[in-house]
Structure 1
Amino acid sequence: MFFSLISTIVLGIAVAGSMMLVNHLAGGRLPRWLAPAAAGIAMLVYTIWTDYDWSARIARGLPGGLEVIETYETSNLLQPWTLVKPRINRMVALDRPSIEANANAPRYRKASLYLFARYQPPRELRQIYDCETGRRIDLLPSETVDPTEIPDTAWEKLVDDPIAREVCGG
Structure 2
Amino acid sequence: MIWHLIAALFAGLGAAGIGLILRLASGKRLPRWIIPACGGLGMLAYQIHNEYSWFEQKKTQLPASAEVVAMEKGQMFWRPWTFAFPMTTAFTIVDRDSMAVSREEQDRLIEFILYRFEKEYVDQVSHQAYLMNCATREMLPLEGESRTPATEQMRRVDAASPLYEAVCENA
1:42-65, Cα deviation, whole Å (9 max, x unpaired): 122221111111101111221221
1:31 aligns with 2:63: no
1:40 aligns with 2:40: yes
CA distance 1:140–1:14, change in 2 (3 Å): farther
> Any conservation in 2 of the 1:128–1:137 contact (CA below 8 Å)?
yes
Note the 1:92-103 alignment, pairs <5 A: 92-103=92-103
1:142 aligns with 2:145: yes
> Any conservation in 2 of the 1:125–1:141 contact (CA below 8 Å)?
no
Task: Name segments (4+ residues, structure 1) moved above 6 Å.
Answer: none
Match for 1:90: what amino acid? A
Q: What is the DSSP-based 3-state SS (H/G/I as helix, E as strand, rest coil) of the residue aligned with 1:132?
A: coil
What fraction of aligned residue pairs are identical, expressed as a percent? Answer: 25
Tell me the TM-score normalised to structure 2 length: 0.80
Q: What is the DSSP-based 3-state SS (H/G/I as helix, E as strand, rest coil) of the residue aligned with 2:94?
A: strand
1:75-103, Cα deviation, whole Å (9 max, x unpaired): 22332221112111111121111122124
- RMSD after superposition: 2.6
Note the 1:124-135 alignment, pairs <5 A: 124-135=127-138
Unaligned runs of 5+ in 2: none
Note the 1:84-163 alignment, pairs <5 A: 84-104=84-104, 106-119=107-120, 120-140=123-143, 142-145=145-148, 150=149, 152-159=151-158, 161-163=161-163
How far did residue 19 of structure 1 move?
A: 2.8
> Any conservation in 2 of the 1:11–1:39 contact (CA below 8 Å)?
yes
Match for 1:125: what amino acid? Q
Note the 1:45-64 alignment, pairs <5 A: 45-64=45-64
Paired residues, what number? 166
Match for 2:98: what amino acid? S
Of residues 101-110 and 72-81 in structure 1, the stretch that sits farther from structure 2 once superposed is: 101-110
Match for 1:3: what amino acid? W
